[in-house]
Amino acid sequence: MIKTGIEAMSFYTPHRYISLATLAEKHGIDPEKFSRGIGQEKIALPGHDEDIVTMAAEAARPLIDRYGTEGIDTVLFATETGIDQSKAAGIYVHRLLGLPANCRNVELKQACYSATPALQLACSYVARRPDRKVLVIASDVARYDRESSGEATQGAGAVAMLISADPKLLEIGAVSGLFSEDIMDFWRPNHRRTPLFDGKFSTLRYLNALIEAWRDYGENGGKAYEDFARFCYHLPFSRMGEKAHRHLAKSAKASLDMEMALPGMLYNRVVGNSYTASIYLALISTLENSEDDLTGKSIGLFSYGSGATGEFFDATVVSGYQEHLFTQHHQAILEDRVPVSYEDYVELWGAPVAKDGEELTFEVEARGRYRLAGINDHKRIYVDTRA
């Protein structure tokens, strides 16, 4: 049987953030409501010349620079904050990265879940064509109405994964547990810039989907709880991962060891919610922040997208995985960021929107290689600053 999985993966998040302590001070509440209550410290903030395309290209660039473009004939772009109802965001990324012209390119959507079916589709494809590779990208900007209950769970980021029949990081297991139901826990109609949601209801349905997917995973021949060294969860906020892990351990009638899940929450605490990228940011965080060698160990992953769909699956860490991480690069991204005032946060939150084909030109704010230079005649103009 051909092994398929993740050859390499990297992430990107903008260089500015607002501390949740600053947000708490502005709203006159105890900062521990955020640091302890939801387990968050910072919210990543994109500039007006940054969006899901620029973050995606930045996340994928290290993969292209190290492994090249040979064999890549598919780009799967997962997002719930799409920029066009027709054109896939990956088309822009394809050009920015200089990928081969003979390439398929599509966008997938199902709330925060769609990067997982992208990964599964990619594994199935490279199993049939082991000489090919798939670039899977998850990129999102989580934006909620200011002074709403969701404001503290904002964030922005992208994760890029190179999927191949020569996985150097993780081999993806063949068994999945699935669950879907039609509910209104979180949604964003076309006419709205920010989502509508029922936070308490969504939390309950998340936990229900976890148990249902876990049950289905077991019935399909999946591994036992005790077989896993680590667990990664979709993290709209870090405390949700703690709730999920506690819930799963109870359902499996296993002793609770929160250290099996905590390494995956470290990056999320300082980036915030990144929707489709969230669980894969947790996976990177797990690989880069676990003190022990995970070679040969199993990681359980639960992916959730409101509306709702959940999937539980497993991955096995490949020998020599440490050589294919981008730990120093990622830590530099996080350490080089700068905090902003509440007033600057409000200005960044209110990014201008082009109407009726008007022309917008954006000042240079992005520190990365790629930026959105402007919008003109309904067309988004992306540039490579090194070209």
Tens-digit pLDDT profile for residues 17-35: 999 999 999 999 999 999 9
Same domain, 202 and 284: yes
Separation of alpha carbons 329 and 156, rounded Å: 18
Separation of alpha carbons 182 and 308, rounded Å: 6
- At residue 216, φ and ψ (nearest 5 deg) are -65, -40
Same domain, 9 and 75: yes
Q: What is the CA radius of gyration of the chain?
A: 20
Same domain, 19 and 109: yes
Same domain, 35 and 155: yes
Q: Alpha carbon of 229 to those of 209, 277, 325, 337: distances in Å?
A: 22, 22, 19, 32
The answer to whether 30 is a known ligand-binding residue is yes
Q: What is the 3-state secondary structure (H, E, C) of 155-166?
A: EEEEEEEEEECC
Beta-sheet pairing, 170-180 with 360-361: unpaired
Q: Residue type for 233, please? A: Y
Greatest Cα pair distance in the chain: 59
In 360-378, which positions are buried (b, 16+ CB within 10 angstroms) versus exposed (e)?
bebeebbbbebbbbbbeee
pLDDT at residue 356, as a whole number: 83
Residue 82 has pLDDT above 80, yes or no: yes
Instruction: Judge whether 378 counts as a catalytic residue.
Output: no
Q: What is the domain extent for residue 197?
A: 172-318
Q: What is the DSSP string of 326-338?
A: -HHHHHHHHHT-E
- Bridge partners, residue 106, by sequence: 76
Final residue of a structural domain among 297, 318, 339: 318
> Which of the residues 15, 48, 94, 234 is marked catalytic?
234
Final residue of a structural domain among 283, 318, 353: 318
Banded pLDDT at 2 (limits 50, 70, 90)? confident
Same domain, 298 and 362: no
> Which of the residues 112, 232, 288, 311 is marked catalytic?
112
Same domain, 368 and 285: no
Q: Residue type for 60, please? A: A
Banded pLDDT at 259 (limits 50, 70, 90)? very high
Residue 1 has pLDDT above 80, yes or no: no
User: DSSP H helical segments within 252-326, as ranges?
Assistant: 266-271, 278-289
* Structure-block tokens of residue 358: 């008007």
pLDDT at residue 20, as a whole number: 97
Separation of alpha carbons 301 and 177, rounded Å: 10
Percent of the chain whose predicted confidence (pLDDT) is above 90:
97
pLDDT at residue 355, as a whole number: 83
Final residue of a structural domain among 318, 351, 374: 318
Whether the CB-CB separation of 378 and 353 falls below 8 Å is answered with no
CA atoms lying within 13 Å on the CB side of residue 38: 28
pLDDT at residue 136, as a whole number: 99
Residue 387 has pLDDT above 90, yes or no: no
Residue 75 has pLDDT above 80, yes or no: yes
The answer to whether 144 is a known ligand-binding residue is yes
Same domain, 82 and 158: yes
Residue 356 DSSP label: T
pLDDT at residue 358, as a whole number: 87
Least confident stretch, 136-140, 193-197, 356-360: 356-360
Residue 274 has pLDDT above 90, yes or no: yes
- Bridge partners, residue 6, by sequence: 163, 170
Same domain, 123 and 160: yes
Instruction: Judge whether 80 counts as a catalytic residue.
Output: yes
- Provide the 3-class DSSP secondary structure of residue 18: strand
* Structure-block tokens of residue 129: 């064509």
pLDDT at residue 347, as a whole number: 96
Same domain, 63 and 138: yes
Beta-sheet pairing, 155-164 with 338-339: unpaired
Same domain, 196 and 331: no
Mean pLDDT of the chain: 97
- Sheet containing strand 370-376, edge to edge, reads 360-361, 370-376, 379-384
Whether the CB-CB separation of 260 and 229 falls below 8 Å is answered with yes
CATH at residue 162 = 3.40.47.10
Average pLDDT over residues 211-227: 98
Average pLDDT over residues 333-343: 98
Has this prediction a pTM greater than 0.85?
Answer: yes
Question: Which H or E element spans position 339?
Answer: strand 338-339
Count of domains observed in the chain: 2
Instruction: Judge whether 112 counts as a catalytic residue.
Output: yes
Separation of alpha carbons 131 and 87, rounded Å: 28
Same domain, 213 and 136: no
Average pLDDT over residues 48-62: 98
